[in-house]
Amino acid sequence: MKVILLKDIKGTGKKGDIINTSDGHARNYLIPRKFAMEATESNLRELNFKKANIEKSKKDELENAKAFAKELSEKKIEIFTKAGEGGKLFGSITSKDLANEMKNKYNIDIDKKKIVLKNPIKEIGTFDVEIKVYPKVKANIKVIIIPE
- Residues 124 and 89: beta-carbon distance below 8 Å: yes
pLDDT of residue 79: 92
pTM of the model: 0.72
Q: What is the pLDDT of residues 55-88, one digit of tens each?
A: 999 999 999 999 999 999 999 999 999 998 888 9
C-alpha 106, offset from chain centre: 21
pLDDT of residue 67: 95
Longest dimension (CA), the chain: 79
Q: Which residues of the chain have pLDDT under 70?
A: none
Domains for the chain: give ranges and CATH numbers. Answer: 2-66 (3.40.5.10), 70-147 (3.10.430.100)
Q: Distance (Å, rounded) from C-alpha 24 to C-alpha 32? A: 11
pLDDT of residue 148: 84
Which of 72, 75, 91, 79 is closest to 133 using CA atoms?
Answer: 72
- What's the distance, Cα to Cα, between the start and end of the chain in Å? 74
